[in-house]
Amino acid sequence: MSQRSRKTRKVAPRIGLIGLGAFGRLIAAHLGGRFALLGYDPQVQAPIKGVIAATLAEAAACDVVILAAPVPALREICREIRPCLRAGALVLDVGSVKVLPAQIMREELPDHVDIVGTHPMFGPQSARGGVKGLKIVLCPIRGHWTRPLAGWLRQTFQLDAIIATPEQHDREAAMVQGLTHLIAKVLVEMEPLPRSMTTVSFDLLMRAVDMVRHDAPEVFYAIERMNPFVPDVRRKFFGLAADLAEHLEHNGESQSSR
C-alpha cells in the first residue's frame, strides 16, 4: 500500500458502549463485528462477543459514545463521563423517552461534543428476526450528525430512520408506547389467560404483550412516568374506559327491566 493510500484511507471510529443490559447486548450484536466496540457495565462480568471490556473512562474517550443505561441514571453518567469525552465526539442515548434525556445531555455534556437522541422503536424480542425495516427515531440535539447518521442506518441496516424533535417523539410515543405497555401490564396481572381456544385478534394481542412483558421495570417506569405527555393519554384512556363500563352496566339494567 502506498503512502498516499494510507493517508487517505478512512479509519473506522471506535465506539464506546456504556450499559450492557438487554438492549446494550442487542447493540453489540449488530455493531461488534463492524467496529472496535469498547463496553462498560459494572453489573456485567462475563465477556460478551464483539465487545472489548473497558473502564468507564476508556469507553467515554471513544469517537462515538452510546449511553445504553436507564433514563433515571442518565444525569449521573453524563457527569461522570464529562471529563473523558474528547472534542468532536458524538454522544447518543437510546432511551424510550426523549424530552428529558435531551435536556439532561444539553445541561451535563460539554459544548465540544455533538449529541443525537435516538430511540430504536424495537427491543430484543421484536428484533429477533433482524432489524431490517424496523423503525428508529433520531432527535437532533447538538451538532450536524443527525442526517448523516440516519443515512448510514438506512444504508447499513435497512432501518426506517425517522428524524423528529424530542417533543414530537414524546407526543407520539405517549400513545404508541404508553398505551401498549399499560395494556400489557394490566393483561399480565389478569393471567392466566386463554392460550388455546383463542381468536386471531386475541393471539395478536398476546403477541404484543409477550414483546414487552420481559422488559426491565425501569423501561416501564421511563415510558409511563418520564414522558410528559403520557399522563394526559392515560387519563383519557381510563376515562373513556370508565364511561364505556358505566354505559354497558346501565344498558344492561335497562335491558333486564324490559
Query: Total domain count for the chain?
Result: 2
pLDDT, residue 107, reads: 98
Q: What is the pLDDT of residues 90-122, one digit of tens each?
A: 999 999 999 999 999 999 999 999 999 999 999
Among candidate residues 136, 134, 132, 131, the one with its CA nearest the CA of residue 120: 136
Query: pLDDT band at residue 9, thresholds of 50, 70 and 90?
Result: low
Out of 103, 129, 164, a domain closes at 164
pLDDT, residue 1, reads: 44
Mean pLDDT of 30-57: 93
94 within a domain of the structure (yes/no): yes
Q: Global pTM? A: 0.88
Mean pLDDT of 203-221: 91
10 labelled as ligand-binding?
no
Q: Are residues 190 and 117 in the same domain?
A: no
Domain with residue 54: its CATH number is 3.40.50.720
Residue 28 confidence (pLDDT) above 50? yes
Residue 11: which residues within 8 A CB-CB, separation 6 or more? none
As a three-state string, the secondary structure of 140-196 is EEECCCHHHHHHHHHHHHCCEEEECCHHHHHHHHHHHHHHHHHHHHHHHHCCCCCCC
Residue 12 confidence (pLDDT) above 70? yes
Q: Which three cell numbers, joined as nine digits, stand for 121?
A: 422503536
Q: Are residues 147 and 178 in the same domain?
A: no
Strands 135-142 and 114-120: antiparallel
For residue 49, give its domain range. 3-164
Q: Which amino acid is at 157?
A: F
Out of 130, 164, 198, a domain closes at 164
Q: Whole-angstrom Cα distance, residue 255 to residue 97? A: 46
Out of 143, 164, 185, a domain closes at 164
pLDDT, residue 256, reads: 54
Alpha-carbon Rg for the chain in angstroms:
22
Q: What is the pLDDT of residues 143-180, one digit of tens each?
A: 999 999 999 999 999 999 999 999 999 999 999 999 99
Residue 44 confidence (pLDDT) above 90? no
Mean pLDDT of 23-47: 93
Residue 142 confidence (pLDDT) above 50? yes
